Amino acid sequence: MCICVNCRHINECKTYIFIEKQHKNINLKDKNIIFIPKNTLIQINIHKKINYTVIDWDLIECLSFVEKPGSWLN
């Protein structure tokens, strides 16, 4: 699971915006990228199905993480 959901920087983080673009999230036009995190580690999970492949992107480590539960709700 992506640690971004409980990070204070989620709404302006360059790495989070990148991950959301990989998930094909189309509601990114109003995002203001002003924060560049330090030392991030992204995990990519590939799930193969019979007719298709699902790729899941998760940020699992970030030295800039500052916990603020529910930050993604805003």
Query: Mean pLDDT for each 10-residue chunk of the chain (74 residues)?
Result: 86 88 72 87 93 92 91 72
Q: What is the predicted pLDDT for the residue at 22?
A: 86
pLDDT of residue 29: 63
User: Rounded to two decimals, what is the model's pTM?
Assistant: 0.77
Q: What is the pLDDT of residue 52?
A: 92
Domain boundaries, the chain: 3-73
Q: Determine the Cα–Cα distance for residues 18 and 11; give it in Å rounded to an integer.
A: 12
pLDDT of residue 27: 66
∠ at Cα 56 (17, 34), nearest 5°? Answer: 10
